[in-house]
């Protein structure tokens, strides 16, 4: 990430932790992802400023396949600017809630000169934010991201792409 992009990201981080872009409740929890048979959620940004989002189906030698709005879309790897694949819901929000509770628990009590000191915000916030990135792959190469594809082995040969259906 270039330094300039980093400053922008830092400025935007006030919105909270990482967001996958997946529809609500679409991603499984980690414990459920162990038995999940659909792919993760991919958000792909193209060099021509186009954007595609949907279930990651497969990664081939020179293409990435995404099931976008019920249709299988093949994207040439060379035309992709950057992408993000999320394999499961990290439930970082629970840790954020825990952090907030921890901070609330340190409200001062007693006399003015004695304040309870929060221990949570820097460590708890960092923990929640780091957890939010669990199961995410910022795609530099697709080798790592393919483990979250519906077909990690690649698109099966001879498959009728029009017959592929989205997750109900």
Partner 1 sequence: MPVVLLLAVVLLLGGCDVKRLHRELVEPGKLAAIDQRPPYLKAHLRDGRVLVLSDWSSEGTGVRGTGRMFDINRNLLAEGALAVALDSVALFETNVVHTAGAVAGLGVLTGASLALSAYCVSNPKACFGSCPTFYVDGRLEAEGFSSSVLPSLEATDVDALWRVPQGRTVVDVRMTNEAYETHVVRFVHLLAVPHAAGERVFATAGDRFERGRLLGPPSRCAGPEGDCARALSAFDGIERSSHADSSDLAARETLEVEWAEPGEGPLGIVVARRQTLLSTYLFYQALAFMGRQAGSMLATIERGGTRSGGWAPALGGIEVFVEDGQGAWVRAGEDQETGPLASDVRMIPLPRPERTPLRVRLRMAKGLWRLDWLALAQLRGEAHPLRLEPMAPPASPLVTLPGDEHLYRFHVPMGPHELFLESRGYYLEWMRDEWLVEEDPMRAVLMLAQPDDALKRLAPGFKAKEAGMERAFWSSRYARP
Question: What is the footprint of partner 1 within residues 117-146 (CB under 8 A)?
Answer: 117-131, 133-135, 146
80-86 and 41-46 as β-strands: parallel, antiparallel, unpaired?
antiparallel
Q: For residue 89, give the nearest of 17, 10, 152, 4 by alpha carbon.
A: 17
Q: For residue 129, give the nearest of 90, 161, 164, 158 by alpha carbon.
A: 90
* Angle (nearest 5°) at CA 120 between 117 and 125: 145
Question: Nearer Cβ to partner 1, position 13 or 79?
Answer: 13
Interface with partner 1 (CB under 8 A), residue from 21, 45, 77, 147: 147
Interface with partner 1 (CB under 8 A), residue from 24, 34, 61, 162: 34
Taking CB under 8 A as the criterion, which residues in 43-62 touch partner 1? Answer: none
Interface with partner 1 (CB under 8 A), residue from 22, 38, 83, 86: 38
Q: For residue 20, give the nearest of 53, 46, 45 by alpha carbon.
A: 53
Question: Nearer Cβ to partner 1, position 47 or 144?
Answer: 144
Minimum gap (Å) between residue 79 Cβ and partner 1: 25
Q: Which stretch binds partner 1 (CB under 8 A): 19-27, 41-49, 74-82, 151-159?
A: 151-159
Mention every residue, 6+ apart, whose C-beta is less than 8 A from residue 152: 58, 59, 146
Is 13 a binder of partner 1 (CB under 8 A)?
yes
């Amino acid at each position: 990430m270039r330094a300039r992009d980093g400053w922008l990201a830092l400025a935007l981080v006030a919105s909270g932790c990482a967001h996958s872009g997946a529809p609500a409740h679409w991603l499984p929890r980690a414990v459920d992802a162990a038995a999940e048979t659909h792919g993760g959620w991919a958000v792909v940004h193209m060099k021509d400023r186009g954007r595609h989002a949907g279930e990651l189906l497969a990664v081939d030698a020179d293409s990435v396949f995404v099931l976008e709005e019920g249709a299988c879309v093949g994207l040439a790897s060379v035309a992709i600017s950057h992408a993000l694949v999320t394999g499961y819901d990290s439930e970082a929000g629970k840790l954020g809630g825990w952090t907030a509770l921890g901070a609330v628990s340190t409200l001062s009590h007693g006399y003015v000169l004695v304040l309870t000191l929060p221990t949570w915000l820097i460590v708890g916030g960092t923990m929640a934010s780091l957890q939010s990135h669990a199961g995410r792959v910022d795609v530099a190469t697709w080798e790592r991201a393919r483990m979250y594809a519906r077909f990690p082995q690649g698109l099966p040969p001879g498959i009728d792409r029009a017959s592929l259906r989205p997750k109900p």
